[in-house]
Structure 1
Amino acid sequence: MTMHRLRLPRVSRISSRLILFLALSVVLTALAISMVTAILGSRDARARVEGQLTSVVALKRQEIAAWINNLHLNLEIILSETGIEGDLRLLTSPGAPTDLKEAAYSRVRAQFFWAAFRTNLFDEVFFMDREGVVLAATAPGREGQRLGLNDYFLHGSIGEYIEQPSYSLSLGQMTVVASAPVADQEGQVGVVAGLTDLSSLNQIMIERAGLGETGETYLVGSNHRLLTYLRRPGYSIPETYVRTAGADAAVDRKMSGAATYANYSGVTVIGVYHWIPELQVALIAEQEEAEALRSTRMVLYITGGVAAVAVALAILAGVALTHRIVRPLADLGATAELISAGRLDAEAPTVRDDEIGALAGAFNRMTTRLRSLVEGLERHAGHLRALNEAAQRISSSLDLEALLPHVAEGLVRTFEYDAVHMLLLTEQDRGQLHSCTHAEIRCSGAVSVDLAHPQVGLSPALLLVARTGEEVLTSRRADDSAGSAAYLDIAVPVRTRGELVGVLELVAGETHLLDDLDLYTARTLADQLAIAVENSRLYQHAHELAAAEERQRLARDLHDAVSQTLFSVGLIAEVLPRLYERDPEQGKARLEELRQLTRGALAEMRTLLLELRPSALAESRLPDLLKQLAEAVTGRARIPVEVLVRGDVDDLPAAVTGVLYRIAQEALNNVAKHSAASRAVVQLEHDSRAVTLVIADDGRGFDPGAGGTGRLG
């Protein structure tokens, strides 16, 4: 039997062996570096992302705990109100007089409405007796319901309890109920509970700080139902159920940890999950694996490209070195050893004017370019870090007064610029200038500048950009050896939606001039500053819009009252001619009623104008305002109100006038609603010592010795 051995072709020429050896060395080294880089980079990237997500989960866990504490705290505030426990005990007493129970019911509901709508935490507040029957609630439809089998009643009878989120078919949204026991000296009274939606939890989950471009956080219920909104569209609540490795571990096994798995949409993510026992929900933070490993892949691509270039250079070097490889190669080898040890300033001797000398020269040029490349990469990395820090600061702050000096100081410290100036335009030919200099790493406060009459110290470049909106590069000159550009001053515009809102200026330091990388930094930072200015404007606009909506709501409420009065006027006016022909006396009475209604409607309209224009309240005389309130009550409730003024009240401070007006307004509303009076008197007295406001009526009154609710109205 004949056996054949596999033989590789033998390379006999030294040049071929040298070329093959160099090529294999570079390829194997590049492969080894690529594998190590891939393994270590991937591991480091995963650990870094898991750490970031863990920090985000911990922060959001604290915010959720604070939200839960606020719910319990507001229930405690309700029960801490003076007399509330006695009123609740009275509601549960079957033998209590009806009028006392009705008064207690009114006070309890008033307190519940205050807790529900003034604190903006609860959508509903209700009280259940010891059998679970709802006796008082902000939602009338809930009163009388038997809720004794619900967990929030059973656990709330023992201590503070919050029910896990559930979907309310009547409200069409996810809700949470917090409950607490009510007890007095006689023992258990019942349970008070508050119902709220998950808008606050949604707001906590929407915050994307530390999550990158593809990261998100969301909550999953104990039945795997999605509780908060997702970043991707098409996943609605309550139809969406999340069954991923992270959700299963947190919900089914009540575990907390981190893993890599396919998320709800099938995309591979790095996720951190945490079980929250208080709410019986899972908090999940995820970031796509592609984004987490992006930097590692870029390093692999760069390594592969460098390896390919190195192989080509090795082959060329082998061909050149075959001519003379004894002493010239030894010299080059010694130089190469110095460079591999980190001596990038080492140079090969070029005493010979032949191929070896040319090779030595090329080797030296390559070393020079390598030094430049390393320095450029380090500087570029510094620019990217500074831009990233500035972007994080800009995305997390809406206060431009604090943001701009911080960013300017960071640029001066990182790149040793001589100065950084940021001009924020506030109006035509005016702005706020923030400056930071390298002399003492000191940033001055904002300085108001008049661009039409510029002060001494404003650079011409900054003024030119502010006037023309075009970037200005000062003292640009070409570098013949490197073909790069150098600047003494870079000024770029800051634009948002095509509008010039500011100028960013970088001034060269003493150690180096500015180059294209600094120009790129200035342009990128200007774009980020434009986003910050736009975010600040949107934030301000949102506040103004909320105020406008509140005024419109108030106008609608008051307009409804005026409409009812005018409707009554129309009915009386329609029947008045026929009534007057049939019974003149009754016609006169109806005519007087018509007069009162119209005067009351006019007073209501004036009150509407005061509410819509608060400045008019400070400009009006207090006696006129009191007469206007009296006419409104007379027209609306048919109660004659007499206004008596004694003393000079025209010099009262605006704040005192506003307080007295609100007191009279609330008191007269109570007279109209609750007193059943036939007449009322408003008396205002002012002397050198004090101002006194008295509102009296001949109605049924109340017992001053009875326990109050602690309210002022």
Structure 2
Amino acid sequence: MGARASRRSCRHGPSSPTDRTFLSPRPLPRLGNKMEATMPEPIHTENTITVDQSAAPTEQLSLGQRALRVIDRLMPVQREPQPAPSRQPSSLRRRLTTAMLLIVLVPTVLSATVSVITGWHSAQQQVVNQLRSVATLKEAQIHLWLNDLHTDLTVLQTEEMQADFITLLGAPVPDKLPEYKRVRSHFARNIAQTGRFEAIFLVDTSGRVILSTSLTQYWKNYRGWAFFEEGLQEPLSHLTWEAGVRWISIVHPIYDETGRTRGILVGRATMDTINAIMMERSGLGETGETYLVSAEQALLTDIRAGSRPVYVRTQGVQIATQERAEGSGIYPNYRGRTVIGVFHWLPDINAALLAEQEQIEALRPALALLGISTGVALLAITIAILAALTISRSVTDPLTRMAATASQVAAGELEHTVCIKREDEIGVLARTFNSMTAQLRDLIGNLEAQVAQRTQELEQRSNYLAASADVARAASSILDSARLTRQVVELIKERFSLYYVGLFLLDEAGEWAVLRAGTGEAGEAMLRRGHKIKVGEGMIGWSIAHAQSRIALDVGEDAVRLATNELPNTRSEAALPLRARGQIIGALTVQSDQPGAFDENSIAVLQTMADQVAIALENARLFTQNQAALETTQRAYGELSRRGWVELLRTQPDIGYRSSKMGIAPTTESWRADMEQAVQTGSVVQGNGTGDTNRYPLIVPIKVGNTVIGILDTYKPIADGPWNEEEIAILEALADQLGLALEGARLYRDAQQRASREQLTREIADKMRRATSVEEIIQTTVDELFHTLGTSRAFVKLGLLSPADDTDGETHDT
């Protein structure tokens, strides 16, 4: 309010209601379709001045309003459009504020972003390292336990026990030997002392269990089992499934003195120890866990969730089991929750070990760091914004006040001046601005009349150009004469806001101008009664006879004009000749219900449109003639083609071929009734599958132009169903292409025959020319006819009728 009061105090002159008030002009509307309905938008060029004629009359506008219109049109190139007062904030302030904010914000945001991203990846890596340590520890524990199992089994293989093993493996009935009881007792003591094995048993090379500490193992045969087949080759650990129970098999081969394998020693251990190792969750938090999965992706150990799935097919499990590799990643676990997982492949037991922890728990410290970093960044941004606003306001406030005053002046309030009392560059600018405003106030009054006149001319010219473009567009896109004439008269009537428009064309004799199109009910009535004007009479006839336009600004004063009862309100009329290629083909009448409606410019535009219409009508006529000539040529060619085929089929009536399983061969079948029907009608004939044929016949005519020269006969078995539209369409297209190919072959054959005849004629004529006497010429001719044409008898006889013998018709040889 303070700034507003300061500006008011700097106004010149009294502030009474009689003061001149300047208002912001409204935007000028764009040119519409009708001449009288809209005004054109100002077109700023070096020599064009426009005003808004839809505003109040000139004498009712204030000096400021007139000044604004003059400035808008006299100085379009010399000044940029000024912003409205509602959009006053200084762009300089925005630039200063933006620059200061960018200087502070960009490094802050980049630093915070890099910190967050680095911390996030670091946290992920820490979790992966922690899980990898846990997985490595679990793997080491499993290996240690397996080594203990192998050690216990090795302890059993003393030299004495080895001999007993070989004896039992070689005996047909081992349980009757004393070594049997000794070995079994030795196995039982080992199980009782170590507690690692659930059962220990001997298996011979045929896969049969000959001794076991478990009664359920007696006489079982493990031939074909992986642990048995591989254990015959070398010691191993193997994960074995039997009757839905998982257990670890520790297998050692037993060799005799010659090094030959006599069987295997197998220690069976339960999964309890491995399950206990996997259930130990130290270092895994609340959601972390470890578990084993077989190569078939079956879960081997207990999991944190109470009920466990039979198979686990997560991304980590698939990579570990398929690629037999170690790795880590982020993926959904068997419960569908996103986890960070580490997986190891354990070749000793052919299983994958996975250590996983839910991502939300694992990255909780990183999320806390992210919150802290975001808070710090927001605090820095807030401080930067406040500092930037304070500094920019201290610099831009004086400029903002001067910009507000400049906006008021640009809006038409020329009585305002800038009130800035400074001795620096801004003060100089304010004084210069006040001087310029005073000069503008003195400049306005003398130019408004000239602006209004030129604006009206420009508006009229713009409407004429738009109407001319519409007529030219219709003339260039329509080839139907009747439609073109109707659309042209309607367009001219609508664009020029006329009372009536009619188009006359000369008749064939050139004596009468016949109405071909007219607007409104009057035009329809005159068309129904066949309205026409004799050439030389009336304005239309005079315009055609003299090849000139005729204008009646007041129809009552034109002695040539013929009045029409259907058009009682006509007050001014113009008749324009239609010229096409130097000839007058008709005339265009345009009538208005206002006197003096036509001037030199409007007549020039209307004459141009009339010439365009005349050329378009002539083009449409030529197009129709060309179409007729083309149709005549096509009919003539079709008749010649038909005669050629009639001659060809007369000389070769049995042209036809049939394809079958035996190949392609000429056909000698006679024409059936359906074949003749296809030839006569020229359309496809399709059988319905009735009768004894057990098939659906189809006959497609082969056409050359409109002439049917043959048929394509085929059929489908009843089992394949009737012919569908797509199949028929394919065969019709094939028949069309066949007709074109046959026509080309016939034309080629005719050309060859003509060439052969011409060559033969040239050869005989050449030999005849080389003869020197009449007898030799005749002998050569007869000889060539005999040998070339293969005639059985050829002769040439010369003779004349004597005058005395002309009456009786007798011929005498010479």
Fold shared by both chains (TM-score > 0.5):
no
Larger Rg: 2
User: Per chain length, whose mean CA-contact separation is higher, i.e. which structure has more relative contact order (CA < 8 Å, sep 6+)?
Assistant: 2
